[in-house]
Amino acid sequence: MPELPEVETTRRGLVPLLCGTRIIALVVRDRRLRWPIAPQLETLLPGRTIARIDRRGKYLLLDLGEGSLIIHLGMSGSLQMVATRKPPGPWDPFDIVVTGGQCLRMRDPRRFGALLYTEDRPHHPLLRHLGPEPLEPEFSGAYLYHRARGRRIAIRDFLLNGQIVAGIGNIYANEALFSAGIHPGRAAGRISRTRYDTLAAAIVAVLNRAIAVGGTTLKDFSGSDGRPGYFQQQLQVYGRAGDPCLGCGTQIVRLSHLTRSSYYCPHCQR
DNA sequence: CTCCGATCCTGATGGC
DNA sequence: TGCCATCAGGATCGGA
């Protein structure tokens, strides 16, 4: 579910509710996430104050001063602030209980998410090799062009690689490629510098537009306040196989022989 | 180094 | 209505 805009939506919703609060307890109901929740966390966290909430790609980072919690939502995760007394559902693996009777509750039916702790954020194996943030200045067409030299991988898969650029998932990769007029199967190394400028701008634009409306809710994503996102109403190609291209009317094609579906307009994208 | 496929797990959906 | 196959927003790992 959650790509950069959904994680950013979650982060923005949590900041006013969680920053400055003190952790009272970590309640774990199911340790079996992508990586098992370390048992030490239950003794480590109480008493710590949540100083800041950051985001790196699709990772949410709770800064505890000395150390950080790393939360990843996987495919099906979401976070909500709820009253601690509210009964948890069957797919709510943990609560971070804070002062004020509230807790940060994770829901994750597929258990692809993660809750990890590090005292060395820059060197953590999940964060250390991440590419630049697409909404920061170091991300540009020049950067993408440089990284793509000699690569034959399809541009869609290139954009999904977090080591190239952080936070882009299948929805926004497909949408940005449509916006830039680039075929998702084109080799990354066979795209001109000029087209990479267009693509980088398209990525920034589509991410910002999605953040502005609270992200994309396909099935059950909701922000930290429980409200869905609305970007799905603006999707140009993702999930629209067989429907007319909004630019030229040609039927949108779905390429399913790739591990993840690509959606594109065969007329507008080359 | 690069790339592809398998893998973790559950739920929704569509065809028959 | 029920059953089965297929597909999902992610990211790592092993092997070619």
In CATH, what number is assigned to the domain containing residue A234? Answer: 1.10.8.50
pLDDT of res. A258: 61
Same structural domain for residues A90 and A43? yes
Question: Which of A152, A190, A260, A270 does the annotation list as catalytic?
Answer: A260
pLDDT of res. A178: 95
Name the domain boundary from A78, A103, A128.
Answer: A128
Q: Which two tokens stand for residue A60?
A: 């949410």
For A40, counting Cβ atoms within 10 Å of its Cβ (0-12 exposed, 13-18 middle, 19+ buried), the class is: exposed
Residues A142 and A231 sit within 8 Å (Cβ to Cβ): no
Kindly report the CATH number assigned to the domain that includes residue A29: 3.20.190.10
The protein residue nearest B6 (Cα–C1') is A259
Same structural domain for residues A123 and A146? no
State the pTM of this model: 0.96
Same structural domain for residues A158 and A248? yes
Q: How confident is the model at residue A17 (pLDDT cuts 50, 70, 90)?
A: very high
What CA–CA distance (Å, rounded) separates A237 from A243? 9
Specify if A208 maps to a domain. Answer: yes
Q: Is the CB of A143 under 7 A from strand C?
A: no
CA distances from A190 to A7, A233, A236, A269 (A): 32, 32, 24, 14
* Residue A250 CA, nucleotide B15 C1', distance (Å): 26
What CA–CA distance (Å, rounded) separates A218 from A177? 20
With tokens 């399913």, the residue in question is: A256
**Looking at the DSSP assignment, which residues form a beta bridge with residue A263?**
A254
Nucleotide nearest to A163 (CA to C1'): C11
Number of domains forming the structure of chain A: 2
The protein residue nearest B13 (Cα–C1') is A219
Nucleic acid strand B: bases within 7 A of protein CB: 2-12
Active site residue A58: yes
Specify if A155 maps to a domain. Answer: yes
pLDDT in tens, A202-254: 999 999 999 999 988 877 677 888 888 888 889 999 999 999 999 999 999 99
Residues A106 and A93 sit within 8 Å (Cβ to Cβ): yes
Chain A 105-144 residues whose Cβ is under 7 Å from strand B:
109-112
Q: How confident is the model at residue A169 (pLDDT cuts 50, 70, 90)?
A: very high
What CA–CA distance (Å, rounded) separates A113 from A111? 5
Q: Is the CB of A134 under 7 A from strand C?
A: no
Same structural domain for residues A161 and A119? no
Q: Is the CB of A58 under 7 A from strand C?
A: yes
Which range marks the domain in which residue A238 is found? 141-264
Same structural domain for residues A176 and A103? no
Q: How confident is the model at residue A61 (pLDDT cuts 50, 70, 90)?
A: very high
**Looking at the DSSP assignment, which residues form a beta bridge with residue A58?**
none
What CA–CA distance (Å, rounded) separates A17 from A49? 13
Tell me how many degrees the CA angle A72-A74-A75 measures, rounded to the nearest 5.
Answer: 150
